[in-house]
Amino acid sequence: MGNKQSTFRDDQLDEYQDCTFFTSKEILRLHGRFRDLAPNVVPLDYTNNPDVTLPSSLIITMPELKENPFRYRILETFSEDGEGNLTFYDFVDLFSVLSETAPLDLKIIYAFRIYDFNRDGFLCLEDVEETVHRLTGEELRVEERRLVARRVMEEADLDGDGKLSLIDFQNMISRAPDFISTFHIRI
């Protein structure tokens, strides 16, 4: 596959295959999905790397993302401008990291960035509380959320500084066997 299509040049497809975990067929399919979001804006021909960015409000309508409580954070983490507006590069990158074949280390780094709501490089108590809030909605009382966040901190904070660094997070995830199967989007 790849001789008939005119969306990408061969060297572009090669580049995509090297920089993501997708095959050329999947990349073309992703381009199709990207284009379906806004057929009038996204060109069919990507051979000269057009600079097209889709707004986050459009991307979260995708079925893979629309039920995810962290969808805005995911978009913000992978976007270049930090606001959640994705170019096709960012789009492919997003689904590549969240694909089945991406290694655990890479997923851990991006998961850390996603859960870091205040973007300070650490998962502090407020970040964890916000995560719990997103997961349970308004069902838990504020004290219960705080209690859960404090328990999480006790369990994972090894160096005792009151927040989780990347190391703490990595150590903790290595003992959470569900992570690799849940932190995964099929597209």
Partner 1 sequence: MDTVDGVFYPSHSGAVSNPLLDQLPSYQSLLYRRKSSGTSSTKRRSLNRGRHGSTSSRSGSGRWASGRLEERPPTLRSTADQRPARELPWSMEEKRRHKEQRLQQCGDLGGWAQWRMSARHYLKRMKEDGQDLLSALQLWRADIHMIEGMFGTGIQSYFSFLRFLVLLNFVMFLLMFSFVMLPIVISTHTSFVNSTFTGGTGSECSVYPPTSRQGLVVFHQHIIDLLSGTGFLEQTYLFYGYYKVNNIHFPSFSYNLPLAYLLCTITYLLLSLLWIVKRSATGFKRKLVQDEDRFQSFCNKVFAGWDFCITNENAARLKHSSLLYELKTDLEEERIRQKMAERSRKEKCRIYCLRVALNLFVIAVLVCCFYCIYSATIFSQQKQAQDQQYYFIVELIFEYLPSIVITLANFITPIIFSIIISFEDYSPAFEIRFTLMRILVNHCECGLVKWWGQQEFAIPQNVLEIVYGQTICWIGTFYCPLMPAINTIKYFLVFYIKKVTLVNNCRPASRPFRASSSTFFFLAVLLIGLALATVPVTVSIAQIRSSDACGPFVNFTTSWEAVPRAVSQLPLGVMTFLNALSSEAFAVSFFVITCLAMFYVIALAGAHKRVITQLRDQLAMEGRDKRFLIQKLCQAQSELPSRTSRSRASHGYHGNPHSSTSGVFVVQPLTHYETQA
- Near partner 1 in 33-52, by CB under 8 A: none
DSSP 3-state of 133: helix
* 60 near partner 1, rule: CB under 8 A: no
Q: Taking contact as CB under 8 A, which single stretch among the options 3-11, 30-38, 52-60, 169-177 is the one that binds partner 1?
A: 169-177
User: Could you give the CA distance from residue 4 to residue 53 in angstroms, rounded to a whole number?
Assistant: 26
Which CB sits closer to partner 1, 40 or 177? 177
Pattern 136-165, partner 1, x by CB under 8 A: xx-xx---x--xx--xx--xx-xxxx----
The answer to whether the beta carbons of residues 129 and 145 sit under 8 Å apart is yes
DSSP 3-state of 60: coil
Please list, in sequence order, all residues whose beta carbon lies within 8 angstroms of the beta carbon of residue 148, skipping any fewer than 6 positions away: 128, 132, 140
* 10 near partner 1, rule: CB under 8 A: no
Considering only residues 82 to 121 of the shown chain, the ones binding partner 1 according to CB under 8 A are 82, 89-90, 92-93, 96, 98, 103, 105-106, 109-111, 113, 115-116, 118-121
| DSSP assignment string, 60-83 | TTSHHHHT-TTHHHHHHHH-SSSS
Q: How many residues bind partner 1 (CB under 8 A)?
A: 78
Which CB sits closer to partner 1, 29 or 58? 29
Place of tokens 């990507």: 46
* 130 near partner 1, rule: CB under 8 A: no
The answer to whether the beta carbons of residues 125 and 150 sit under 8 Å apart is yes
